[in-house]
């Protein structure tokens, strides 16, 4: 299988590329900056993992990568839209340029890359698009509204696309991780510029949210679980639409399913301390 995966410098993307190659697939591993391929190359030593320059927000790079894959192999079998960014901050604090960048990476880029791949997948009448979203695409938390909004949007696109691609034999799947130990929760954790100030009406709440995130570090899941799931889904002929996974996810989904929103809201108030 010929697989294109985005955001492969570290975390889920690096692991997906390596695990998929171990399963016998040829993987084109997209990197926003090709000079950062060191960890990927080391982890993929001896495997058919091919690092490619792919800033997902760059239309020319998106087109070039898909064209190169199809030119070399005559097909593309799987697209894993993994690249993404997070943004913390209460919505009054988020600047327009920050929100636009967030949606550029998390929504418009996977939409555009998927659109480039669909003609080839349809012509083959087989293949799979796997979008890595988040539990934030199912439940919006305070201080993460902008990020949740982008993931809700990707979930909506994906659900509709699944219906649209069914007649053509193309599978569309959502993988929805909860808290996992990746750079998006560590080195790459991003906070709105206005939320970095020490004062203001949200300062105390931001400190509480940061404290909760720090406490979660010891309870985060192993990102290899996500990579293993994605690799299984590459070959699954009839996958479900949604695959939530991670610590605490089952309880959150159960609460949303059986409790009225007001009850969930009260639980969240107690947990977060608002």
Q: Which residues form the catalytic set?
A: 147
- Helix or strand (DSSP H, E) at 59: helix 59-73
Number of Cβ atoms within 10 Å of the Cβ of 267: 13
Both tokens of residue 8?
């492969």
Using a 10 angstrom Cβ sphere, with 0-12 exposed, 13-18 middle and 19 or more buried, the burial of residue 157 is middle
Using a 10 angstrom Cβ sphere, with 0-12 exposed, 13-18 middle and 19 or more buried, the burial of residue 136 is buried
Buried b (16+ CB within 10 A) or exposed e, 190-211: ebbeebeeeeeebeebbeebee
Residue 183: CA atoms inside 13 Å, Cβ hemisphere, count?
Answer: 14
Nearby residues of 27 by Cβ (< 8 Å), 6 or more positions away: 3, 4, 5, 17, 20, 21, 47, 48, 49, 50
CA nearest to 3, candidates 164, 172, 130, 133: 130
Answer for the pair 179, 246: CB distance below 8 angstroms, yes or no.
Answer: yes
What sign for the dihedral angle of Cα 248, 13, 112, 2? negative
Round to whole Å and give the CA distance between 274 and 38: 43
Cα dist. 44→4, 7, 170 in Å? 15, 15, 28
């Amino acid at each position: 299988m010929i697989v294109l995966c985005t955001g492969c410098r570290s975390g889920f993307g690096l692991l997906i590329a390596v695990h998929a190659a171990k399963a016998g697939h040829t993987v084109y591993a997209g990197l926003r900056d090709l000079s950062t391929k060191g960890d990927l190359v080391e982890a993929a030593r001896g495997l058919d993992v091919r690092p490619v320059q792919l800033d997902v927000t760059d239309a020319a790079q998106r087109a070039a990568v898909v064209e190169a894959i199809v030119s070399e192999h005559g097909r593309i079998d799987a697209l894993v839209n993994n690249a993404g960014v997070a943004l913390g901050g209460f919505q009054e604090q988020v600047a327009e340029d920050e929100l636009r960048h967030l949606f550029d990476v998390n929504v418009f880029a996977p939409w555009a890359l998927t659109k480039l791949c669909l003609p080839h997948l349809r012509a083959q009448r087989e293949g799979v698009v796997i979008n890595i979203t988040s539990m934030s695409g199912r439940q919006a938390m305070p201080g993460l509204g902008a990020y949740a909004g982008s993931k809700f949007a990707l979930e909506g696109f994906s659900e509709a696309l699944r219906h649209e691609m069914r007649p053509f034999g193309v599978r569309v799947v959502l993988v929805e991780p909860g808290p996992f130990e990746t750079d998006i929760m560590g080195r790459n954790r991003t906070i709105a510029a206005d939320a970095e100030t020490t004062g203001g009406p949200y300062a105390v709440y931001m400190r509480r949210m940061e404290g909760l995130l720090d406490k979660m570090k010891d309870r985060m899941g192993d990102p290899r679980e996500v990579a293993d799931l994605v690799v299984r889904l590459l070959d699954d002929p009839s996958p479900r639409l949604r695959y939530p996974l991670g610590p605490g996810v089952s309880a959150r989904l159960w609460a949303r399913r059986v409790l009225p929103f007001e009850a969930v809201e009260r639980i969240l108030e107690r947990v977060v301390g608002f």
